[in-house]
Amino acid sequence: MNNRGSRWVRFVRGSLVCAAWLLVAACGSDDSKGEGGPSCTDGMVACGQVCVDLSKDPAYCGSCSTACGTANVCSRGECRASCQYGLTDCKGSCENLKTSRTSCGACGTVCAEGQVCSAGACALSCQQGLTDCSGMCVDLLTERAACGACGNVCGAGQVCSMGTCALTCQKGLEDCEGTCVNTRTSVESCGACGNACKPGDVCSAGTCALSCQDQLTDCGGMCANLSNDNEHCGKCGLRCKAGERCSGGECMVTCQQGLEDCDGICANLQTENLHCGDCDKACAAGEICAAGTCELTCRTDFEMCGGYCVDPNTSRFHCGGCDKACAAGQICVEGVCTITCQTGLTACDGVCVNTDSDNANCGGCGNACDPGTVCSNGACALSCQTGLEKCGDTCVNTKTDNAHCGGCGKACDPGNVCSNGACALSCAAGLQKCGASCVNLQTDNAHCGSCDNDCDPGNVCSKGTCEVSCVPGLEKCGSSCVNLQSDNTHCGACDNVCTSGTACVAGVCKIQCGNGSTLCTDTCVDLMHDPSNCGGCGNVCSKNHLESYCLDGECVGTCEWNELGEDWVDCNEDKGLDGCEANLKGDVMNCGECGTECAAPPAGMARAVAICSGWVCGIGCEAGWGDCDGDIYDGGSGGSGIGNGCETELLGPQHCGKCNETCQQLPGVAQGSCVDNKCVVSQCFQGMGDCNNDPYDGCEAMLSYDNLNCGSCGNSCYAQGPLYACMGGECLPHVP
């Protein structure tokens, strides 16, 4: 049977059980419900003139004629000395404080209209893992009154185990007064039924602790193995469907290769501490599972840190020893935290530098070039400043140097001086004779401002003053020449300092992400697991009818199957782009299964269109038209198979939005009319109200007895207290 078929069987099965339960409840109330009795909401039964909950009302416990004694309580339809597991005594009524709208979190705490009680708190919707059943958030895997589906009540003597009514709990679960509980993870029954952990503690392997043991994750107080826990598969709250197993953090029908099915859990018997070598063998505290055997220590080159064997030479979180974590932007190399630089740069004393051009680290860290030389292609070389020329291993001014006058090696005769690159007997205008040379005191580095005033290496003479001079590619910042493209203290501009965890790359401070992380905009992300950047920056996993998450760089997840019976699947095999885009129950392009397109109606069938309803292709009418004579097909002898199609335009007053609807005979309606081809309720009969704003079911609420609409729409008696009921259009205290 395919997925759609199995889902339909479960849906029908749940509906039949629900119908059977409602029939039993109705029979139980026949002895007291007379003519003119109230019409009760789901889960309530009319006893005389009041609507009661037979499962917990001590005055009507199990039936209208059964009242519990003053020393007893009503628990799940039985008079008992005390409430069953998971229930609390609220003045004789056993309430589930996690799900009850009238006692949410504490006895008497009533949730407002439109809210549900989820995990003991009033909210607009149920928390993940719980289902809204008529305003109560329940766990369909364990709740006897809603086992597998809302309204599916387990019979007497049965328990709800993994969403199925059974005589006993499945292996690995304990029967705690009718509820199947995993005592290895439940904070309410940790190690044994009723053994509740203290607030703030979690239940790990059957023991209350402040944190979870190795290989386990804290999921709302429960320690779960995300690789094989069917209720927390891959992430907390992601529950596998019935018949599926959690294998390697992904829900599937069978376990992956190398994993073993241990009563519904896909376990690696070679490495998993709870299933080491055998499904039922768990390693003791302080031990680890290695090659299917519980060991006390790690291999010689590893260390035990927090229950895991780690390599202290490479682990960013235990670099050189346990809990010695490297800072952001660093990696662990041979047990030492080191900054990680981009391609082409080298980490030197915590700074990313280019050893091909950095004067302080030329060819390698700490290899500084001498004054007057620069780093070129990783080697220090002589670099002459502007106005000087390289002659051998010396930078000279060929305009004033007697040994190189006008060019290298051109020496002036004795008694002559070099003036403006020419040998002469005296100095030209603007030059000054210093020794045997004519020099420009405004620009000569050896005679700056005055004869023999020599500028320090790296400085030049400018207007008779020695100043710092930077070679091409460097910029003067204060008294230093720096590379604005790679200097962390002068990145892009002088004094622009890059913060910790960032480095200067091409003149911009950029975050340096560690191994396994990638920089997306201004954040380091894990492309293998980040649903907002899955497989690449900006690749957001779609949530369209999909509980999506990112696994190994691909968007995966479970498609939605909701209470409306909608069957959503991923037909175009692109969950990352549009999630589960096709509803097999009503998609004419994918009806019943992917790729099944509903055929168009035969030619000549007026205003008929192809439809998909309940996974089956059919023929319907265009919007605003209807088959009011029931003759969309010609069924006569020898007929063509084509009737008159959708022959009636749905216009008032005879066909107001629906075939043969005049809006004059709506239930409970004293005055109705057709406005813009829609029925409008102008006036209800006395004592009735249109509280759901659906004119086609008329005035559906009986304001005299409706606890949610008592006297007027929206006036809930539950808001006044659990013992209030609607009688004669007023919320009055109901005294047992």
Please, are residues 21 and 153 in contact by the beta-carbon 8 Å criterion? yes
Q: Percentage of the chain with pLDDT > 90? A: 15
Q: Give the least confident one: 15-24, 164-173, 570-579.
A: 15-24
521 has pLDDT over 90: no
Hey, what's the torsion of the CAs at 415, 420, 421, 423, to 10 degrees?
A: -20
Residue 681: predicted pLDDT: 92
Residue 704: predicted pLDDT: 93
> In b/e form, how buried is each residue of 382-391, taking b as 16+ CB within 10 angstroms?
ebbbebbeeb
pLDDT band at 492 (very low <50, low <70, confident <90, very high): very high
33 has pLDDT over 50: no
Q: Give the least confident one: 31-35, 123-127, 462-466.
A: 31-35
Q: Give the least confident one: 326-330, 367-371, 508-512, 543-547.
A: 326-330
User: What is the CB neighbour count within 10 angstroms for residue 569?
Assistant: 21
715 has pLDDT over 90: yes
Q: Find how far residue 670's CA is from the centre of its chain.
A: 51
210 has pLDDT over 70: no
Query: Average pLDDT, stretch 537-557?
Result: 88
d(CA 25, CA 46): 10
Residue with tokens 């059943």: 133
Query: Average pLDDT, stretch 508-529?
Result: 80
d(CA 711, CA 48): 19
Q: Give the least confident one: 34-48, 308-322, 718-732.
A: 34-48
Q: What is the pTM of this model?
A: 0.31
Hey, what's the torsion of the CAs at 341, 347, 352, 354, to 10 degrees?
A: -100
Mean pLDDT of the chain: 79
Q: Give the least confident one: 117-126, 140-149, 700-709.
A: 117-126
> pLDDT digit string (tens) for 385-428?
777 888 887 888 888 888 899 999 998 887 688 888 888 767 77
Residue 157: predicted pLDDT: 65
d(CA 676, CA 681): 13
Tokens of 273: 């501490």
- Pair type for strands 730-733 and 724-727: antiparallel
702 has pLDDT over 90: yes
pLDDT band at 703 (very low <50, low <70, confident <90, very high): very high
Residue 565: predicted pLDDT: 63
User: What is the CB neighbour count within 10 angstroms for residue 343?
Assistant: 5
Residue 537: predicted pLDDT: 92
pLDDT band at 736 (very low <50, low <70, confident <90, very high): low
> pLDDT digit string (tens) for 68-86?
988 788 988 889 888 877 7
pLDDT band at 31 (very low <50, low <70, confident <90, very high): very low
d(CA 101, CA 120): 9
Listed in order, strand segments (DSSP E) in 205-355 are 207-209, 217-219, 222-224, 245-247, 250-252, 260-262, 265-267, 288-290, 293-295, 303-305, 308-310, 330-333, 336-339, 346-348, 351-353
Residue 56: predicted pLDDT: 87
Residue with tokens 């007053």: 653
What size, in residues, is the chain?
A: 736
Please, are residues 318 and 308 in contact by the beta-carbon 8 Å criterion? no
Handedness of CA 539, 545, 547, 553 (dihedral sign): negative
Query: Average pLDDT, stretch 546-560?
Result: 85
126 has pLDDT over 80: no
> pLDDT digit string (tens) for 658-701?
888 889 888 998 898 999 888 999 999 999 999 998 888 899 99
List, in order, residues 6 or more apart from 629 with CB less than 8 Å away: 644, 647, 648
d(CA 185, CA 223): 6
The one-character DSSP state at 567 is B
Residue 687: predicted pLDDT: 92
638 has pLDDT over 70: no
Query: Average pLDDT, stretch 57-70?
Result: 89
Please, are residues 219 and 227 in contact by the beta-carbon 8 Å criterion? no
Q: Helix (H, G, I), strand (E, B), or coil: what is residue 512?
A: coil
187 has pLDDT over 50: yes
* Distance between first and last Cα of the chain: 52
Is 719 exposed, middle or buried (CB count within 10 Å of its CB: 0-12, 13-18, 19+)? middle
